[in-house]
Structure 1
């Protein structure tokens, strides 16, 4: 049986759910700044326990945002940008759709204003 890759919508959903928590966003920022770190190192920089950091890292890992690799007794975590990139592309596409819609509304409103001006007697 082959493992199915999640679709773009599922990736975006899991990334947004993972990033909804401020501690996970902080963890991601710390990892991005350090390239790699252990849960112990990350916990030292946050007001949460190492066990809480491990749980948050598991959520980030499940969302495809980080990955851990065992080096001896430690697990070192690194950022995986692909899921974040996919989410950024989705957000940019959504923003472009809204820009197009708003531009159309502006054109319609300006045309209506121009029609109203030309219909007024001087």
Structure 2
């Protein structure tokens, strides 16, 4: 069983959401959570860089067997109950213990091909 405990605190026009994901199963689980708030999500940052498990409104991470993880974010949107929903859950194996392609792409710098590559010959 995977359980979510959520708390919501609204202060000075900002909604702060805290989620504890508890994995009571005997195997690691890949979990995808999505915000249900009607506004943008402000995920945690370290040195200005968004945590790699966040993509837009979605958190995608692994919780080891018998463990729990804390997740948090903020938003200018009004609080709703529940503030997140579990949108995907699967057993984590070596083959799927990966960061999803969207997450990888979101960490790359902006790139455009050189002009001569895109010009017609």
Which bracket does the TM-score occupy, shorter chain normalised? under 0.3
Higher Rg? 1
**TM-score of the aligned structures, taking structure 1 as reference length:** 0.20
Structure with bigger helix share is: 1
Structure with bigger strand share is: 2
**TM-score of the aligned structures, taking structure 2 as reference length:** 0.20
